[in-house]
Amino acid sequence: MPAVSGEISARTKLQYGPTSEVGDQPFTPGQLTRMDEALTLSSRECGLAFSVYVGELRTPTRAHAEALFEKLTDDAVLLA
C-alpha cells in the first residue's frame, strides 16, 4: 500500500454521507492527504485498519458508535 493511498478522497459517500455537497466538506484536500498518510502508516505499523467517522453521533452516542464499529472488520479500530 503506498504512503498515500487516495482511499479517503475516493470514498466521499462513506466519508461525508450521501447528502453532502461538494463545497460543504469538513476537510481540505491537503488535510485529507495528511490524514490518509497518517492512517496508512499507523495501519502498517500495528496491523490494524483505522476507520474515522466524522459527524454527529445519534443519541445514545455509544450505541451509535458501536453500531458503526460492528460494520467493520475484526482487525479494525474506529475513531469517532
Predicted local confidence at residue 20, as pLDDT: 52
Which residue range is the domain that position 37 belongs to? Answer: 7-79
pLDDT grade for 19, boundaries at 50, 70 and 90: low
**What average pLDDT does the segment 1-15 reach?**
44
Task: Give the total number of structural domains in the chain.
Answer: 1
Predicted local confidence at residue 10, as pLDDT: 42
The C-alpha atoms of residue 42 and residue 63 are separated, in whole angstroms, by: 26
Predicted local confidence at residue 26, as pLDDT: 87
**Does residue 1 sit within a domain?**
no
Higher per-residue confidence, 36 vs 8:
36
**Does residue 69 sit within a domain?**
yes
Q: Residue 49, SS3? A: strand
Predicted local confidence at residue 18, as pLDDT: 52
**Does residue 51 sit within a domain?**
yes
**Does residue 55 sit within a domain?**
yes
pTM of the model: 0.63
Q: How far apart are the first and last CA of the chain?
A: 24
